[in-house]
Amino acid sequence: MGSAGLSRLHGLFAVYKPPGLKWKHLRDTVELQLLKGLNAGKPPAPKQRVRFLLGPMEGSEEKELTLTATSVPSLVNHPLVCGPAFTHLKVGMGHRLDVRASGVLVLGVGHGCRLLTDMYNAHLTKDYTVRGLLGKATDDFCEDGRLVEKTTYDHVTREKLDRILAMIQGSHQKALVMYSNLDLKTQEAYEMAVRGLIRPMNKSPMLITGIRCLHFAPPEFLLEVQCMHETQKELRKLVHEIGLELKTTAVCSQVRRTRDGFFTLDSALLRTQWDLHNIQDAIRAAAPQVASELEKSLGPQLDTKELPSREWSWESQGPSSTLVPERGAGH
C-alpha cells in the first residue's frame, strides 16, 4: 500500500462516536488503524548491491580463496532494520462531542485539515436529537447527575411544550439576524434568506435555527434541534430551562448529533469500519459534496485559509441562558 495509499488520504470523512468514548481516544484509534493499514502492505523489493565475497576459487584443486563479485540484497531500508515506514499521521478533529454525547463526528486527514477550518468558518448548522425526562433536576443537567430537586409534571401537555419551543425558535432567529450584521431591507439579505445562507459573521452564543418535539410521552420527550455554535452542555441546559418554563423540572438523558454540516448518519463510519480502505472510500465519496458546499458557503475565501494546528479548538463558550441568546456573548 505505502505511499500510494497515503496519496488517497487527504480529505474529510465522518465517523459515528458512541457514548462513553472520549474524542481524543477516537482520534488516536483512527490514526492507529490508518497507520496499520499503510504499513501492512508488502514492502518493495530490496535494492541489490555488489559485494566481494571470499570463497574458493572455481576449477582449482587447491584450497585457495579468492574474492568474487556477488549481487546481494541491501537491507538498509528493510522494516526489520529501520522500523515501519509510517509512524505518524496528521488527523484533525472537527466540531467535538463530549464523552456522554454520541453521533456524527467529522475528521480530516492530511490536507483535509484545511477543510476543517473552512467548515468552521462557514458556520454550518448541525442537527441533534435531545431526549429529556420531566420531574427532576440535577447539578449537571444529566440524568445520572446528583439529584437536586423532584417535581410533579402532570400539568405539562404537548401543546404547552410546543408553545415554549416556538418561543425559543423565534427569539433565536431574531438573534441570528442580529449576529449576521445584515440589513433585511436589501436584496442581498433577501436572497441569502431564501437560500438559507444567513450566518453569523463572527463569534456568537449558541443559535437555534429550528426546534420541534418528535415524541411526547411524559415523563419522556424527544426534541430535534438544529443549531450552530453550540456545546453539548448547552443543549442539556436547554432541556433544564425548558422544564423551568413548563413550571416543572427536566433533565437530559441523551444528546445525539445526527448531522454536522453536510455529513449525516448515513455517511458516518461505524467503529468496525475504522480502517484504511473504508476511510479512503469515505473520503472519495464525500469529496464532491465537500467542495460544492464549501464553495457555496465561502466562495473565493477558500484559497486564503491556513492549515490549523492539531489541537484546534472547536468548542463554544456559551451564554448563561440558552432560551434567549445574550448580546455580546462569546463563541
pLDDT tens for 75-128 read: 777 777 777 878 889 999 999 999 999 999 999 998 899 999 999 988 899 999
pLDDT at 312: 36
Which regions in the chain score pLDDT beneath 50?
A: 1, 304-320, 328-331
Cell numbers of 140, please? 449537571
pLDDT at 71: 84
- State the SS3 of the chain: CHHHHHCCCCEEEEEEECCCCCHHHHHHHHHHHHHHHHHCCCCCCCCEEEEEEEEECCCCCCCCEEEEEEEEECCCCCHHHHCCCCCCCCEEECCCCCCCCEEEEEEEECCHHHHHHHHHHHCCCEEEEEEEEECEEECCCECCCCEEEECCCCCCCHHHHHHHHHHHHHHHHHHHHHHHCCCCCCHHHHHHHHCCCCCCCCCCCCEEEEEEEEEEECCEEEEEEEEECCCHHHHHHHHHHHHHHCCCCEEEEEEEEEEECCEEHHHEECHHHCCHHHHHHHHHHHHHHHHHHHHHHHHHHHHHCCCCCCCCCCCCCCCCCCCCCCCCCCC
Model-level pTM? 0.81
Q: Which is the CATH superfamily of the domain at 6-36+89-304?
A: Pseudouridine synthase (3.30.2350.10)
pLDDT at 3: 61
pLDDT at 49: 83
pLDDT at 321: 55
Domain range summary for the chain, segments of one domain joined by +: 6-36+89-304, 48-77
pLDDT at 108: 96
Catalytic residues: 98
